[in-house]
Structure 1
C-alpha cells in the first residue's frame, strides 16, 4: 500500500465513481481500477461494490476513508513544511464553508490572505449546514471550516476559533411593506410570505422558532439554493430573513435591508482539527483570527483556541 493508492481511493469516493475520478486525476479508467484492485488485495478486502458503472462503498471502504485522509494529509503536511522553510511560496488552503458566510466574513479573509501570500491558492468547498462543515473538517476533506450556528459552536472534537457574530436582518423588495430605516419587530412578520432556506441552517432555525412562538407567517418558497433568495425577494415572491453578510450585496441589487428586533445573533466560527495544520492553513487561520474586525451591527467575540 502507498499514499498514491490512497489518493486514488479518495478520488473515487469524492467524485462518486471511477470514470469521474479518472478524469479528475488525468488517468485512464483501467489504470485507476488496477490501482484500486491492488490496494484491495493488499488490504484483503473489497472497498467498493461494482454495480454497473456505479461504485458503492463497502463497510471496509467506509472504514478506510478517515485513516486514508489522515495519511494523505500527513504527507501533504510533511511536504508543505519542508517547502515553507524558504517562505510560504505555494500550496493550497481548503475551507469548507456555508453559503452566507462565504460572502462575509470569508471574502474579507481571503482578500487579506491572498494579498499577503499571492502564490497560495484557496479552495472553497460548499457545506449546507454546521454539521456538514464539522464533518468535512473532522474527516479530513478540508483543513479548515467556516460555519454559522444559532447557538455557540458545539463540540465535535475540533478546535474552535470564534469570530464576530452576525445579526439577522430582513430583506424586502424596494417597495416592501415596511418603511426604510425602521427596525421590524419579529411579530410584524405575522401574515407575511417568506422565502426560507433548508432545515439545519441558521436562517431556517430563526423562522421555525417564530412559528413555534405562534407568529403566523407563510413559507412561500423553501430553497436549498441560497443564490435564489435575493432574486425571489426582488421579484415579490416573499420576504427573507438572512444574516448581515447579505447587506451590501442586497442593497446594491436594490433590495431593502431592515434590522430585526429584538436583536438575534448568529454565532460564526472557524474550526480546525486539533492536529498540526499545513503551513498555508496555519497562516490563513492566524490571518483570519488576528485581523478580523467587526462590521456594522456585529459583535466582536474573543478568540478561543480551546479544543472542543
Structure 2
C-alpha cells in the first residue's frame, strides 16, 4: 500500500475546513487539481472513501470523520515538532524565569506573558511572586532572568515601569471609621496594622508607615487584603487591587490628616540585557510598552 504523506493529510483537512477544493486551494496555496489529486491518492492508499462531493461542496463520509480525528492529531503533533525545531535553530531559551513583586498590576503582566507566548508557544514560564527585596535577591543569585521590584539595583539594566498608588484602608465597620475628625499617625498606632513580610532572606526592607504597636505580619498581599476585608485590622494596600472592594463598600479609605496615599515605583531589572534570549527580550519590550500605555 502506498504511504500517505503529511502534506496530503494537510490538504485533506483543508478541504474539510473550507468546505470544498476551491477554498482549500486558496488556503494551502496550491492548485485545485493538486489538492484534488492529493485527496484521491489518500483514498487509494487507505482504500476507503473520505469525501463525497455534492456540487461545489465536499462532505465527510462516516469513515472520513473517523480518519479526520486521527489526522488532526497527526498534523498537530507534526506542527509541534516543527516548532521545536525552529526554536532550537533560533537559539530561543526553553524557560523564562521572572520574579514579580506582588503589587505589580496582574493584567499588564498577564498580557505581556500572553503576547510573548504567541511568538514563542513552547516557552515555559516560571513566575515567582515576591515582596520588596525578594525579587532582587532572586536576581542577584541568578535564580531568575528578570525581576520586577520596587527597589532598584544600581549598576545593572533597570527600566522604570509604573507607579503604584497605595491607600490606607479598613473595613467600613472598623473603629477608625467611627471617628469624626481626621486621623493622625498617633490614632493609627492604637490599632492593629496588617503588614506584608519582605520575602528576601538576606536583607529586610520596610516600606510605608509601620508605627502600630499591634501588627500582624503575613507573607502574601492577598492575605493582607483578606484580613482587612474581615475587619481584622487596617493596611496600606495597592489601589489597583482593592478598588473593586472600595466600590463595593467592603473596604473604606481611612480619613488621614496627612499622607492619605503613597506611591511606589516599580522597575524591571536584569543583570545583562545582551545575555537575554529572544523570548526574554520580547517579554521585556512588551512589559515596558504596556506599562507606559
TM-score by length of 1: 0.53
Give the 3 Å change call, closer, same or farther, for CA 204–118 of structure 1 in structure 2: same
The CA distance in 1 between the partners of 2:184 and 2:109, in whole Å, is 29
What is the DSSP-based 3-state SS (H/G/I as helix, E as strand, rest coil) of the residue aligned with 1:270?
strand
Deviations 1:106-129 (A, max 9, x none): 344334444665543422023333
Match status 1:269 vs 2:272: no
Q: Name the structure 2 match of 1:144.
A: 146
Match status 1:128 vs 2:127: no
Deviations 1:74-99 (A, max 9, x none): xxxxx9985438xx7x8432101222
Give the 3 Å change call, closer, same or farther, for CA 185–121 of structure 1 in structure 2: farther
Match status 1:282 vs 2:288: no
Offset at residue 187 of structure 1 (A)? 5.9
The CA distance in 2 between the partners of 1:113 and 1:91, in whole Å, is 13
The CA distance in 1 between the partners of 2:199 and 2:124, in whole Å, is 30
Match status 1:228 vs 2:223: yes
Match status 1:207 vs 2:202: no
- Residues 167 and 239 in structure 2, CA contact (< 8 A), matched pair in contact too: yes
Q: Name the structure 2 match of 1:98.
A: 101
State the structure with more CA Rg: 2
- Residues 169 and 257 in structure 1, CA contact (< 8 A), matched pair in contact too: no
- Residues 103 and 245 in structure 1, CA contact (< 8 A), matched pair in contact too: no
Deviations 1:172-221 (A, max 9, x none): 11434439xxx97756534232111225799942123xx3xxxxx33341
- Residues 170 and 229 in structure 2, CA contact (< 8 A), matched pair in contact too: yes
What is the DSSP-based 3-state SS (H/G/I as helix, E as strand, rest coil) of the residue aligned with 1:205?
coil
The CA distance in 1 between the partners of 2:237 and 2:183, in whole Å, is 14
Q: 1:165 aligns with which of 163, 166, 178?
A: 163
Offset at residue 160 of structure 1 (A)? 0.4
What is the DSSP-based 3-state SS (H/G/I as helix, E as strand, rest coil) of the residue aligned with 1:288?
helix
The CA distance in 2 between the partners of 1:94 and 1:84, in whole Å, is 19
Structure 1 segment 31-70 matched on structure 2, within 5 A: none
What is the DSSP-based 3-state SS (H/G/I as helix, E as strand, rest coil) of the residue aligned with 2:208?
helix
- Residues 196 and 240 in structure 1, CA contact (< 8 A), matched pair in contact too: yes
TM-score by length of 2: 0.55
Offset at residue 148 of structure 1 (A)? 1.7
- Residues 81 and 279 in structure 1, CA contact (< 8 A), matched pair in contact too: no
The CA distance in 1 between the partners of 2:173 and 2:205, in whole Å, is 23
The CA distance in 2 between the partners of 1:206 and 1:104, in whole Å, is 25
Offset at residue 162 of structure 1 (A)? 0.7
What is the DSSP-based 3-state SS (H/G/I as helix, E as strand, rest coil) of the residue aligned with 2:233?
coil
Match status 1:84 vs 2:104: no
Structure 1 segment 237-276 matched on structure 2, within 5 A: 237-248=232-243, 250-251=245-246, 255-258=250-253, 261-262=258-259, 263-274=261-272, 275-276=274-275
